[in-house]
Amino acid sequence: MAFILHKKTILMFLAFFLIFAIITSCAKIILAGSPKAKYTIVIDAGHGGIDGGSVGKNGSIEAELNLEYAKTLKTMMSDFGFNVVMTRENENGLYSPLAKNKKKDDMKKRKEIIEKSNADFVISIHMNSYTSYSHGAQVFYGAGDETSKALAQKIQDYFIKNLVSARQEIKVGDYYILNAIKAPSVLVECGFLSNPAEEKLLASDEYKKEVCYNILLGVLSFFS
């Protein structure tokens, strides 16, 4: 019996990697057939520095997870030919040490980076927090921005299809990064740190890759 279970486990992993390879090949074909050979995407890791964002029940810090997810997404996007610009690539905030309002200065710096990059679109990475019962990844977009809404919907469709307990709809978000940026922009709340079970999931390397890969698939589907 032990041998049979071991064999089944091996077959399960082989099937997973086969499906992964097929999806990857299809995604590359989608990108190759898009009207532009290369797009510039800004990946914004929310918070940083003295602004740690939400803190999970088990001590996970949002700013740290945001950066991990942003870096993983950057690698995946770069592998598919996107020109990727990061608003931050370490644990520090973007504000000046002399700024009186560091949050405002931080957001101003993010806007400057995005505008200088001439971005085709922006993805801001965050972790949510509400109640211990709240759960699921969800994508937000700016009110009245139909292009951003379409991108948000494509990403959310893949979340619903492939992630555990993804929320069932996109929502309008009243966030600076969505309201002050001219380029199409979405804000991805990858899950709820206030939910201990989901916090544990969000902290795992496997789930991080799964979330980022589905963001990538949504983006490729949008450009197809």
Q: What is the pTM of this model?
A: 0.84
The per-residue pLDDT string of the chain (224 residues; one tens digit each, 9 = 90 and over) reads 433 334 444 444 444 444 455 455 555 554 555 434 489 999 999 999 999 999 998 999 999 999 999 999 999 999 999 999 999 999 999 999 999 999 999 999 999 999 999 999 999 999 999 999 999 999 999 999 999 999 999 999 999 999 988 999 999 999 999 999 999 999 999 999 999 999 999 999 999 999 999 999 999 999 88
Q: Give residue limits of the domains in the chain.
A: 1-33, 37-223
Residues paired with 204 in a beta bridge: none
Taking the C-alpha atoms of residue 39 and residue 83, their distance in angstroms, rounded to an integer, is 6
Task: Measure CA 178 to chain center.
Answer: 14
Taking the C-alpha atoms of residue 41 and residue 55, their distance in angstroms, rounded to an integer, is 28
Q: How many residues does the chain have?
A: 224
| Alpha helix stretches (DSSP H) within 34-101 | 62-79
User: Which fold would CATH assign to domain 37-223?
Assistant: Aminopeptidase (3.40.630)
Name the DSSP class of 60: -
pLDDT at 38 (0 to 100): 83
